[in-house]
Amino acid sequence: MQTVLSHDGWTRTDGVAVRGRAFEDGQLLEGASLAARFADARRADAGLEGVADLAATFEGFFAAVIDTDDATYLVADGARSIPLYYGAEGPISDRGRVVREALEAPTDPVLESEFLLTRYVTGPETIWSGVYATQPGEVVRIRGGEIERRTYREYWPADPEDERTNDPATARASLESALETALDRLERVAGDRPVVVPLSGGYDSRLLASALVERDREVIGFTFGRSGHPDVELSREIAGRLGIPWEFCDYDESTWREWYRGPAGRQYEREAFGGDVLPFLAEWPAVRELVAEGRLPTDALYCPGHTVATPSERLPRFVGERRRSEHSSVGCGPAVDADDDALDRELITPSLEDLVDYVLERHYVLWEWDDERFEDAARERIRRGLCGRRDPSTVMDPASAAAAYERWEWRGRMATFTNGDLRVYEDADLDWWLPLWDPAYVRAWERVPLEARRGKGLHADLARERYRRAVDVPDERAGLTDRTLSAADRHLALVRHSPVRQFTERGGDWEPPFLAPRSAWSEPGSHPLAWYGIVDDDVLESLPAFRNLYALRTLAATGRLDLGDATGSFPDGPTLRLPTADE
């Protein structure tokens, strides 16, 4: 079967192509050594189960293509950090458009509708009929026009029948031990190179940066957005207290327009869109600009704070579950949407159908819509994503309902949209690693009881503790996030932590240029990333004012809207007519 692999990091030998790195029995495998292990399975004619068993022994971030006389096997790690695209009759590629163009595949109305409403596709399909993508922890066999799949690494948190998950102290010790394992592996991959962390106002990147500083690693932080934005100012403070270099890329509408509409932006959007997820955009210009200006090194290991704990942050609240206070937090990059507080969410019954309703109401919302045909199809897709191979009757109480929801996010949202952020680093020819998606950390988090997972509670506790140990700050200061930083702190952050930047970052003005409240962030002129600059002003005036940029970009990605052409057609209201209605 024809294989077209575009990234120059692939190693090809003996019928095998591999990318990435993996640990096996303490040994770091990459390039030829990783390819040799998969070649062993090829020579042994291990079959689908054998290849899956071999992949299950690897701990890391990798992908593989294995050609045998009668079949081709595709392997994805547990984070799907390197997606592969394929069709039943080929070809295979690390770019979805290559497969789509070879097959001349039309769009599928159900899958395209899902993408328009969520910005990702939740199963192995793409928006193009007959074009598929590997899923996390999966091996795919293509043989004689038939496709078979095996999941060798699942995610189903805190089995209530496992006594270990009922002991918070054991769960905490396990999570701390797993973090050390993940950091040990990170250090082996980094070698003597510096580690660059996109540092936000949330707990994930703070945990990573603090733990590395404790280990005396050379750490560099960076962030992006508008000076005065809570994420920027808290990132500035954290880096200052940790004593690490900190770089900032200032965003405004005009530079966004130049970045996005230039040749580099057009190329990135085309190459990063595989038909299954909207390309990650928030930090793309910052990475390119800071590297081009020499403010971030090219010979470094870039480690986003993306974490397996994030789905726990968006858990619904269940009838019969004990109420617990939560810590609000965000991921590794600046928060760009004003989500409601989890404590304010309505209680739902811990049943499969109530979970389906919750997913529809929380995630299929980029546009308003009314389409019974698509709703029926979406509900069935969500059910499959919630349960996997488990019997639906296993969703019966708060613990199992929470596990089902987190599984849905792990496969449907995190491993597609969030981990798609890695394409940003590849676009700039940078090396990356995902320490908080290390399989050891995933397994430990999977065993944390629901009460301690909710709101990423135990993960956040660990972040605050490591930060306090690294910089000796009071508990209250260690627990600040972008959601709790005061207006006064936003004013004083530059003076306290990087006053010399007054004359370069703000042109001598002490007043932050961005002080809009979170409630106003949905308005183009008040967005903390200023990224509505990619949309022509006349186009914005012709569009429903309250649609966010993700919604506009899903239209653009499917050819329904030209963000730079005000002469095209536009939605005439907040309700989108879905492709399923036009079929």
Quick one: which of 353, 459, 439 has its CA closest to 404?
353
Number of domains in the chain: 2
Q: Is residue 126 part of a domain?
A: yes
Distances (CA, A) of 566 to 535, 536, 543, 544: 10, 7, 10, 14
Give me the mean pLDDT over the 133-161 stretch.
Answer: 92
Domain-ending residue, one of 534, 554, 574: 534
Q: Are residues 124 and 44 in the same domain?
A: yes
Q: 47 or 569: whose pLDDT is higher?
A: 47
Q: Is residue 543 part of a domain?
A: no
pLDDT > 70? residue 269:
yes
Domain-ending residue, one of 151, 181, 206: 151
pLDDT > 90? residue 582:
no
SS3 state at 138: strand
Quick one: which of 9, 57, 55, 3 has its CA closest to 32?
9
Does a cis peptide bond (omega within 30 degrees of 0) precede residue 91? Answer: yes
Q: Over the chain, what is the mean pLDDT?
A: 92
Q: Are residues 127 and 164 in the same domain?
A: no
Q: 266 or 543: whose pLDDT is higher?
A: 266
Q: Is residue 169 part of a domain?
A: yes
Domain of 123, CATH number, reads 3.60.20.10
Q: Are residues 220 and 170 in the same domain?
A: yes
Q: Are residues 7 and 65 in the same domain?
A: yes
Distance from chain centroid for Cα 369: 26
Lowest mean pLDDT among 100-114, 258-272, 333-347, 447-461: 333-347
Instruction: HSE, CB side, 13 Å, CA atoms: give it for residue 267.
Output: 8
**Residue 328 and residue 203 in contact, taking contact as beta carbons nearer than 8 Å:** no
Domain-ending residue, one of 131, 151, 171: 151
Q: Are residues 135 and 88 in the same domain?
A: yes
**Residue 99 and residue 5 in contact, taking contact as beta carbons nearer than 8 Å:** no
Q: Are residues 529 and 441 in the same domain?
A: yes
The residue segments making up the domain with residue 121 are 3-151
For 60-90, write each residue's pLDDT tens digit.
Answer: 999 999 999 999 999 999 999 999 999 999 8
pLDDT > 70? residue 33:
yes
Q: Are residues 254 and 292 in the same domain?
A: yes
Q: 510 or 118: whose pLDDT is higher?
A: 118
Q: Is residue 354 part of a domain?
A: no
Q: Are residues 128 and 188 in the same domain?
A: no
The whole-number pLDDT of residue 166 equals 61
Q: Is residue 429 part of a domain?
A: yes
The whole-number pLDDT of residue 105 equals 97
For 489-525, write each residue's pLDDT tens digit.
Answer: 999 999 899 988 988 899 888 889 999 988 889 888 8
SS3 state at 141: strand
Domain of 500, CATH number, reads 3.40.50.620
Q: Are residues 59 and 172 in the same domain?
A: no
For 408-439, write each residue's pLDDT tens digit.
Answer: 999 999 999 999 999 999 999 999 999 999 99
For 285-328, write each residue's pLDDT tens digit.
Answer: 999 999 999 999 999 999 999 999 999 999 999 998 876 544 44
What is the Cα–Cα distance from 164 to 153, expressed in whole angstroms? 20
What HEC string does 308-319 produce?
CCHHHHHCCEEC
The whole-number pLDDT of residue 330 equals 46
pLDDT band of 566, cuts 50, 70, 90 = confident
Q: Is residue 561 part of a domain?
A: no
Q: Are residues 94 and 160 in the same domain?
A: no
Name every residue whose Cβ is closer than 8 Å to that of residue 430 and which is 6 or more positions away in sequence. Answer: 287, 291, 298, 300, 302
pLDDT band of 276, cuts 50, 70, 90 = very high
Q: Are residues 37 and 161 in the same domain?
A: no
The whole-number pLDDT of residue 572 equals 79
Q: At 164, list the tokens.
A: 């270990």
The whole-number pLDDT of residue 574 equals 85
pLDDT band of 7, cuts 50, 70, 90 = very high
Q: Are residues 145 and 181 in the same domain?
A: no
Quick one: which of 286, 265, 253 has its CA closest to 556?
265
Lowest mean pLDDT among 117-126, 463-472, 541-550: 541-550
C-beta atoms surrounding 48 within 10 Å:
16
User: What percentage of the chain exceeds 90 in pLDDT?
Assistant: 84
The whole-number pLDDT of residue 547 equals 74
Quick one: which of 237, 441, 209 has its CA closest to 302?
209
Q: Helices 352-363 and 398-409: crossing angle, nearest 10°?
A: 40
Q: Helices 372-387 and 109-118: crossing angle, nearest 10°?
A: 80
What is the Cα–Cα distance from 221 to 457, expressed in whole angstroms? 24
Q: Is residue 386 part of a domain?
A: no
pLDDT > 90? residue 344:
no
Q: Is residue 553 part of a domain?
A: no
The whole-number pLDDT of residue 159 equals 65
Strand-strand pairing, 347-348 and 246-250: unpaired
Give the pTM.
0.95
For 365-422, write each residue's pLDDT tens digit.
Answer: 999 999 999 999 999 999 999 999 999 999 999 999 999 999 999 999 999 999 999 9
